[in-house]
Chains A and B, each alone.
Chain A
Amino acid sequence: MTVAVFFGCAFIAFGPAFALFVFTIAKDPLRVLILITGAFFWLLSLLLSSLVWFIAVKASNADDWTLRRSLLIFGVFFSVLLQELFRFGYYRLLRKANEGLAAISEDESSAISVRQMAYVAGLGFGIMSGAFSMINILSDSLGPGTVGIFGDSQYYFITSALMTLALTLLHTFWGVVFFDGCEKSRWWVIALVVCLHLLVAGLSLLNPFYDGSLPPVYIITLLMGVWAFFSSGGSLHNLTALCTRRKAERETS
């Protein structure tokens, strides 16, 4: 519970997302707009799912712990489904806007491709999801206190930060893969993304048994990263070409 914890967890959770924003998004106004609108869509999905959860809790009027916990788990899964639904809705909106932009521009091509929009939209979802999960925890970590004084885990802050980082990256990768699946009408891709999201949320239900939740989530993140790379047009050839070109440039310079 010090400034060190605050900065450490802040950089773990938001460092990569911030770097991605600064290097790939900040210079282009259209991408910034798509990012913020993506964040807004995620927010809308969260709002609706909280509404449903709230109504469920008030309707059941539960006092016992197990019923409340199961309602919360229901809320988690419902929220995941709504998020994916809103991702699909955002895809449709972006496609329409893209067509509009292309129609009125000079050379019949729009300023931004669907793949770029997929990446930016995914990052928007990820940043907003991470911010909502992490910022209150970060502001608490600045103040005085002892972590886990009532017997809970000591590693609350750092595991929260790691989980937030994983989810931010996952949302980005899911965005890329999801939009690609929608473009090519591969519905199994979409179903797989939804299932993976449900799986990750389900794994987080194992907290505070961090051994069961964090490593699998990171393995999934890695696999999703590889899948997103290949689905957005990357290949081993590109990678090797990148390395050899760099070597060739270094040799010629």
Chain B
Amino acid sequence: ADSVENAVNNVSNDGVETNQHAETGGAGGPGRNEVELNGQPPTPRPPQVVNDSEEDEDEELTLKYGAKHVIMLFIPVTLCMVVVVATIKSVSFYTQKDGQQLIYTPFREDTETVGQRALNSMLNAIIMISVIVVMTLVLVVLYKYRCYKVIQGWLFFSNLLLLFFFSFIYLGEVFKTYNVALDYFTLALIIWNFGVVGMICIHWKGPLRLQQAYLIMISALMALVFIKYLPEWTAWLILAAISVYDLLAVLCPKGPLRILVETAQERNEPIFPALIYSSTMVWLFNMADTTDSRNNSSHPVPQQESQVGMAPTAQPEDDGGFTPSWVDQQQHQLGPIQSTEESRQEIQQMPSTRPPPADDDEERGVKLGLGDFIFYSMLVGKASATASGDWNTTLACFVAILIGLCLTLLLLAIFKKALPALPISITFGLVFYFATDNLVRPFMDQLAVHQFYI
């Protein structure tokens, strides 16, 4: 179970930057391909004239849609945090320390001296981070050598565990808190339906809102597990260390996550769609576009992202029955049936009766990895569980994380390359947690005692 959780984290961490990249690709791509999307013939334009205005249009488009995208991410992040904070405040199970710890954090923190405790927590954090690094490397190797079935089986199993086992425990604890009696038959029915619908929505197809809701729920469940089973100092150290790791893994040239992103780019494939929160489903009812005929290769558009239906399938190699032998046979009998660049451009030149897609900006969705949800919610959940300043600290961490996310998206709009989503938000969150708990809380308490208002 624990290895699977870490796998989930790794993959979702990968999902982060790839999603960031996918988002920028998606944001920049349709901006340039928009002409084709509308069914209008692409007017041949001289490249050098087009570049400036195109880039300005791109900048304007990414900024004009920037605020909307930020809000499209604020809402699910807020919902996840609200679920975690509400659970922490009401269900005492997740704040009780019954002495059990994950196998990745073997050192205990209930030692005599402060120095011993610091040492133990650092060792715990080092072990946990090395486990995550190893898992990420395994994942990158598996991806590079195209062992897709292994990866998908891994993801399937981890989601199975989350949707059935952890939600069963969660439901049991909620019932215990509110003293609700329920028989096993009804419980089995509820858990079975919840789990199966979740698996279908996440790994296959389902209504968008339902899929988003399930992704939020499993992120919240993971965050709650971490809050319960990680000891105090270890948890804070892991948060700090994982944001540093995220930064290094995405931005360093030899970082594993960067290699993953580049490999996926080369193969033009989406990465692990089951572990990415997506705010809209982009589906185009016209043909696949190749990358720009202009050689602007700074960010090739991942087309598969824009071709998915209701929910992205996790089967990049599914050829739907059109096996190569069948295609060859058809080509012998009927002539070429695959569209080529020239045939597509010919079709595009023809006037189209297809109405342009109604909401261009709606189609340009944002994606955020589930690992980010998990760690943001873990930070806010820990703030509400352990801070003596109670709601002030929680509120401060919440605002800090949202501002960090906003800044990350702003940097994304400016730099247009894969960026990690954890470092800025977690840094702000940690700074505000410790500052609010130690500095602001005594000040506000004193003010409240005397009823002074600032």
Give the interface of A toward B (CB within 8 A).
29-30, 32-33, 36-37, 39-40, 43, 46-47, 49-51, 53-54, 69, 72-73, 75-76, 79-80, 83, 101, 104-106, 111, 128-129, 131-133, 135-137, 139, 156, 159-160, 163-164, 167, 200-201, 204-205, 207-208
Least CB separation from A75: chain B residue:
B443
Q: A30-B67, A36-B399, A101-B63 are contacts. A47–B435 as well, Cβ < 8 Å? A: yes
Q: How far is the CB of A67 from chain B (nearest CB, A)?
A: 13
Q: Which residues of B contact A104 (CB under 8 A)?
A: 56, 59-60, 63
Given the known A-B contacts A135-B392, A136-B390, are A79 and B400 also in contact in the complex, defined by CB atoms under 8 Å? no
Q: A43-B399, A72-B452 are in contact. Are A132 and B439 (CB under 8 A)?
A: no
What residues of A have a CB within 8 angstroms of the CB of B230 in the complex?
Answer: none
CA distance A131 to B68 in the complex (A): 25
Which 3 A-B residue pairings sit nearest by Cβ, starting from the closest?
A207-B451, A204-B453, A29-B71
Chain A CB within 8 A of B450 CB: yes
Which of B64, B439, B452, B454 gathers most chain A CB within 10 Å? B454
List residues of chain A with CB within 8 A of the CB of B402. Answer: 36
> Does B442 count as interface, using CB distance less than 8 angstroms?
yes
Q: Which of chain A's residues has its CB closest to B72's CB?
A: A29
Q: What residues of A have a CB within 8 angstroms of the CB of B406 in the complex? A: 33, 36-37
B432 within 8 A of A: yes
- Please report the C-alpha to C-alpha distance between residue A200 and residue B454 in the assembled complex, in whole angstroms: 8
Contact indicator per residue, chain B 417-454, by CB within 8 Å of chain A (1) or not (0): 00000000000000010011011101110111011111
Q: Is there an interface contact between A167 and B448, defined as CB atoms closer than 8 Å? A: no
Q: Mark B396-426, 1 if CB is under 8 A from A, else 0.
A: 1001101100100000000000000000000
Asked whether B70 is an interface residue with its Cβ less than 8 Å from the other chain, the reply is yes
Complex interface: chain B residues within 8 A of A76 (CB): 447, 452, 454
**A101 surroundings in chain B (CB, below 8 A):** 63
Interface membership of B74, Cβ < 8 A:
yes
Per-residue A-contact encoding for B157-178, CB less than 8 Å = 1, 0 else: 0000000000000000000000
Q: Is the CB of A132 within 8 A of B444?
A: yes
Cβ of B133 to closest chain A Cβ, rounded Å: 33
- In the assembled complex, the Cα of A105 lies from the Cα of B67 at a distance in Å of 14
| CB of B31 to closest CB in A, whole Å | 13
CA–CA, A147 and B265, complex, Å: 64
User: Residue B151 at the A interface, CB < 8 A?
Assistant: no
Check B395–A204 contact: CB distance below 8 A: no
Please name the residue on chain A nearest to B394 by beta carbon.
A135
Q: Decide: A33 near B70, CB < 8 A? Known: A43-B432, A137-B448, A201-B453.
A: yes
Whether A32 lies near B452 (C-beta < 8 A) is: no
Q: Are A47 and B440 closer than 8 Å at their CB atoms?
A: yes
| Residue in chain B with minimal CB distance to A69 | B450
Whole-angstrom distance between the alpha carbons of A75 and B440 in the complex?
11
Q: Is B391 an interface residue (CB 8 A)?
A: yes
Closest B residue to A80 using CB positions: B454
Contact of A132 among B59, B68, B395 (CB under 8 A): B395
Tell me which residues from 174 to 221 in chain B have a Cβ below 8 Å from any Cβ of chain A. none
Are the C-beta atoms of A129 and B403 separated by less than 8 Å?
no
| Distance (whole angstroms) from the CB of B288 to the closest CB of chain A | 30
The residue on B at minimum CB distance from A37 is B403
State A201–B447 Cα separation when bound (angstroms). Answer: 11
Q: Name the residue of chain A whose CB is nearest to the CB of B428.
A: A40
Q: Which residues of A contact B391 (CB under 8 A)?
A: 135-136, 139
- What is the CA–CA distance of A205 and B453 in the complex, to the nearest angstrom? 8
Q: Given A105-B60, A135-B391, list of 10 further CB < 8 A pairs?
A: A32-B71, A36-B74, A36-B403, A47-B432, A50-B442, A50-B443, A72-B446, A76-B454, A133-B447, A200-B453
B452 contacts A207, C-beta separation under 8 Å: yes
The 30 listed contacts between A and B (C-beta, < 8 Å) are: A29-B67, A33-B67, A33-B406, A36-B403, A43-B432, A46-B440, A47-B436, A50-B435, A50-B442, A51-B439, A73-B452, A79-B454, A80-B454, A101-B63, A111-B64, A129-B454, A131-B395, A133-B447, A133-B453, A136-B392, A136-B448, A156-B451, A160-B448, A201-B452, A204-B451, A204-B452, A204-B453, A205-B452, A207-B450, A207-B451
Cα distance A104–B68 in the bound complex, in angstroms: 17
**Which residues of chain A have C-beta atoms less than 8 A from B67's C-beta?**
29-30, 32-33
In the assembled complex, the Cα of A76 lies from the Cα of B450 at a distance in Å of 12
B396 touches A43 (CB 8 A): yes
Question: Residue among B60, B403, B435, B443 with the most chain A CB within 10 A?
Answer: B443
Chain A's closest residue to B444 (CB) is A132
Beyond A32-B71, A83-B454, is A53–B399 a contact (Cβ under 8 Å)? no
Q: Is the CB of B442 within 8 A of A54?
A: yes
Question: Which residues of the other chain, A, contact B436 by a CB distance below 8 angstroms?
Answer: 47
Complex alpha-carbon distance, A30 and B71, angstroms? 9
